[in-house]
Structure formats: structure tokens, C-alpha cells
Amino acid sequence: MSTDDHARTATRDASLAEAVALRGAGHREEARDRLVALAERLPDDAEVAYQTAWAHDVLGLEAEAVPYYERALAARTAHGGLTSEDRRGALLGLGSTYRTLGRYEAAVATLRRGTEEFPEDGALRAFLAMALYNTGEHHDAVRLLLRLLAETSDDPHVRQYHEAIAHYAEDLDRIG
């Protein structure tokens, strides 16, 4: 990597860190402005796109967040694309945003992809259940939530009936 490349990377990293720190400090509008400008300069940078999407989401600007989430998930850049944790967050963010916008089929597809890539993530499964509900797939939504409840609840009463809940989650219509 040349000296110029190192300088550009350092500038990018510093600019990104400053914008994320601003968002964390509650200066959301300023963070969004900086991230939008950075995303314009670096349109193929997955991490910048993801952080820009997130900046829009926290301001309730879901429709504006979508293209940044999509760009973040599609990008493969010199920075290696998204980390696994950021990819998980981008899939959850995009799926949830699609759902909020009433784009339920896109939400289900995105969140299914997320649960396939990150099957241990309960938040992805919970948001998928909500999107399934919105598409009229009530049976699958309840089954998914019951499985999640049986697997993750610390409630002693739920733990007591863990096997029964898990069993009935597989066939909610079973009689006897």
C-alpha cells in the first residue's frame, strides 16, 4: 500500500470514528450529515454505508436508510466488507426497516437470510416472526416465537415446561 493509500485510509477511519462518536454522544443530525458526505466520497465502502444507514434509522428516516443498508450488504471493498457483527446488524436493520415501511415480503426475505446466516441470533428470529405475522403467516410466526421462548427464557415456569412448549411449537394444531 502506498503512502497515499495509507493517508486515505487513515482519513477515512478518522472521519468514520468521529461520525460514530457524534451519534453516540447524541448529535445524531450532525453524525448523519458527516456520514452522508463520507458515503458520497466512498460509495463502495460497506462499513461507511452501514453506519450511514444506522444514522438514518436512529432519526426515524427509514426510507432513506434502505439504500445504504442495501449498499452495505452488497459491497465488497478494500476494507473487506462488513464484519460478521455488522453484517448481522445490517440484515436486522434492513429487515426491520422494510417491515416498518410495509415492505413485508422483502422483510421476510431479508430476515430469513439473516436467520440462516446467524441462527443463534434471537433478535433476528423475533423480527422475522413479526414480519411473518404481517404477511399472514401466523402459524409460522407463533411457532418461531414459541421456539425462541423455549430456547432462551430464564423464567423458571417457562423452563419447567420447556419440553412441552418446544413440542407444541412444532405442531400447534395437535390435539391430544
Q: What is the total count of domains within the chain?
A: 2
- Residue 99 lies inside a defined structural domain of this protein: no
Q: Is 2 exposed, middle or buried (0-12, 13-18, 19+ CB in 10 A)?
A: exposed
75 shares its domain with 109: no
For residue 90, give every residue at least 6 positions away whose Cβ sits within 8 Å of its Cβ, in sequence order, or none.
50, 53, 69, 72, 73, 82
Range of the domain at 159: 104-176
- Residue 94 lies inside a defined structural domain of this protein: no
- pTM, full prediction: 0.88
71 shares its domain with 132: no
73 shares its domain with 4: yes
pLDDT at 9: 72
Residues of the chain with pLDDT under 70: 1-7, 76-80, 176
114 shares its domain with 170: yes
- Residue 96 lies inside a defined structural domain of this protein: no
pLDDT at 143: 95
- d(CA 96, CA 123) in angstroms, rounded, equals 10
- Residue 87 lies inside a defined structural domain of this protein: no
- d(CA 68, CA 58) in angstroms, rounded, equals 14
